[in-house]
Structure 1
Amino acid sequence: MKLLDGKVALVTGGGRGIGRGIALSLAANGAKVVINDLGAGLAGDGTDAGPAQETQAAIEALGGKAVINGSSVADHAAAQGMVEQAVDTFGRLDIVVHAAGVLRDRMIFNMTEEEWDVVVAVHLKGLFNVLRPATALMRQQKGGRIISLASGSAYGDAGQPNYSAAKAGIIGLSYSTANAMAKYGVTSNVVLPTGTTRMIDSKPESRKIFEETGKWPSEHARGTPKDPDNVAPLVSFLASDRAANVNGQVFHSYGFGYTLIEPPRTLARLEGDHAWTAESLADAFDTYMEPDMKPRPAMPFGRDVDNLGDDDWHAIGEGRRYWVRKEESR
């Protein structure tokens, strides 16, 4: 018996890149899949049915079952239709993976309203649009798995204020959904993926690589730590019954490994038995709280694990190892 036998999944953005790898992995593990993909360009323009059709064909070649939905997650009514299509076609919906996304990169001081709106509409509102009907259904059936793709950019990519804000919003929405749906047997988790996708191919330096080698960076990445398909095993696990006790967590998929990200926690506090003045607070802050401030997350996020030494790891067999951060003392 496969890990996801009898399950039905909806994957937004399932026609290309990371979403495609996830759709294939879910199907390989036994799930029936609704592949939602508008086929738009990176900026959200245009449509193309080809990528979703290719993913469907690949799933069917594995012996799986899949149907296509070509609507935009930014359309509230269309997102309702995706959920209804899953139920009408396969009889239920157990898994929602939100991988759809677009880019409109710009610095905060010259970003247009339209560039802000289109990115937030697909990433953050798109997640809400799908979760609104999906959670109602999962609440009734008392079970379900929600996996939302955010990004390390949620922690502050300077050139992506719209994308960073939307991805941070996805983390907050996932936490809220996890708290609301836990009593119904529904989990909600976040994956921060990495991988060389068409977003990397779109960079000017990638053109030079193609001209020199005849292959785009995404093609060179296949089978390597930069392969976007490395994200898929984590998502398939989180979509399974084996992950029933994993809820409200954030993971970073990086290389051939997966990092558990610590949730926000209280770090330090100043308190008095009467009101503060701004000057007295400033004096106390300089002496007590400032030394306990943590540095801003570095970009690209999550690659500090590259600095670990051999002695930091615990071997767990089959060429795999585990590391956990020890509590730091001041």
Structure 2
Amino acid sequence: MTINFEGKVAIVTGAGNGLGRSHALALAARGAKVVINDLGGARDGSGASSLASQEVVRLIEENGGEAISHGANVANFEEVQDMVQQTIAKWGRVDILINNAGILRDKSFSKMSIDDFKLVIDVHLMGSVNCTKAVWDIMREQNYGRIVMTTSSSGMYGNFGQSNYGAAKMAVLGLMNTLVIEGAKNNIRVNAIAPTASTRMTEDLMPEDVAKIFTSEAVSAGLMTLCDDDAPNRFVLCAGAGGFSRARIFETEGCFIPQQSQTPEAVRALWSELTEQEGQTAFESGINQSEKFVKKAVTYMASQR
């Protein structure tokens, strides 16, 4: 079945360049009306310009699509609200939100200033929070919404010099996990893309010959599967250079230690049991962990009678 977005309205943040630009063009090519959001700043978040976002609008319109630009700083909730209000005034709805905007302020943790840490958190995490909050009630009233967070291997696995970026990118997965639960009854599905692409964010990290295969379009092909009518829910799609995979957190079955024996030595003694991967589970809610531990306790108490 062909994936299309006819009749859908999408907001793509950070859409003036790189991945956001590619996502916006791909959505528009398949029928979506697109809001091209971009502050137009440099990679480190400094400066502002509307030239890049207006160029994307021009490309979409030249190909017969519909698009508008908006320069909201995603870290500023009032500016984000204005963007969403203008979208509603123009097209009457918001169906898709792609939280893509981001900046880098890379340094080792010992050399990083608190201001640089906070700014990256503000753009990546609070930017995603602000944009999602601004469309959430609209999507609830429509009984339809598709939201994509942008995470990263730097958050899921770590990367030297990116404690701020990694913290923010892992945090958006925590946001996703709860929104999945809260949005389910209103047909709001929330997923995440973990991209690897050659953009200005990574331009000094890849050799030129390697960069050629890490296209933004390869990532956008995967992103399209996360925001159509048949999108999954709570899915972390990793994409880069034509490779696609799923990332997920699993928890081992673990062990049980009765109350009278709960010492650090007892925990260490059962280390091999609590780390045994056979039978590990991917939980759908935090309460599942509590339920597992209660079951273990109840089973133990029953065995003592």
Establish whether TM, by shorter chain, passes 0.5. Answer: yes
Q: Secondary structure at the match of 1:10?
A: strand
Counterpart of 1:323 in structure 2 is none
Structure 1 residue 99 displacement after superposition: 0.6
Among 200, 212, 227, which residue is 1:239 paired with? 227
Structure 1 residue 125 displacement after superposition: 0.3
Residue 260 (structure 2) pairs with residue 258 (structure 1):
no
Write the deviation string for residues 275-327 of structure 1: whole angstroms up to 9, x where unpaired: 31222322332x5445659xxxxxxxxxxxxxxxxxxxxxxxxxxxxxxxxxx
Residue identity in the other structure for 2:215: D
Structure 1 residue 2 displacement after superposition: 7.1
Q: Secondary structure at the match of 2:230?
A: helix
Among 171, 193, 205, which residue is 1:191 paired with? 193
**Matched length:** 275
Structure 1 residue 170 displacement after superposition: 0.7
Please say if residues 79 and 130 of structure 1, whose CA atoms lie closer than 8 Å, have aligned partners that are also in contact. Answer: yes
Q: Unaligned stretches of 5+ in structure 1? A: 210-216, 294-330
Counterpart of 1:143 in structure 2 is 144
Please say if residues 252 and 274 of structure 2, whose CA atoms lie closer than 8 Å, have aligned partners that are also in contact. Answer: no
Cα distance in 1 between the residues matched to 2:196 and 2:3: 26
Structure 1 residue 98 displacement after superposition: 0.7
Moved over 6 A (4+): none
TM-score under structure 1 normalisation? 0.79
Cα distance in 1 between the residues matched to 2:107 and 2:128: 23
Moved more, 228-237 or 118-127: 228-237
Q: Secondary structure at the match of 1:130?
A: helix
Among 172, 181, 184, which residue is 2:183 paired with? 181
Flag the 1:150–1:270 CA change in 2: closer, same or farther, 3 A.
same
Cα distance in 2 between the residues matched to 1:141 and 1:69: 23
Among 258, 265, 268, which residue is 1:279 paired with? 265
Residue identity in the other structure for 1:191: I
Identity level (%): 34
Among 269, 272, 275, which residue is 2:254 paired with? 269
Q: Unaligned stretches of 5+ in structure 2? A: 279-305
Counterpart of 2:65 in structure 1 is 64
Q: What does 1:99-178 correspond to in 2, within 5 Å?
A: 99-155=100-156, 156-178=158-180
Structure 1 residue 179 displacement after superposition: 0.9
Residue identity in the other structure for 2:151: A
What is the Cα-based RMSD across aligned positions, in Å?
2.0
Please say if residues 7 and 93 of structure 1, whose CA atoms lie closer than 8 Å, have aligned partners that are also in contact. Answer: yes
Cα distance in 2 between the residues matched to 1:181 and 1:202: 39
Structure 1 residue 239 displacement after superposition: 1.8
Write the deviation string for residues 229-282 of structure 1: whole angstroms up to 9, x where unpaired: 211122223221132xx11111101221321223x2321422122331222322
Please say if residues 33 and 67 of structure 2, whose CA atoms lie closer than 8 Å, have aligned partners that are also in contact. Answer: yes
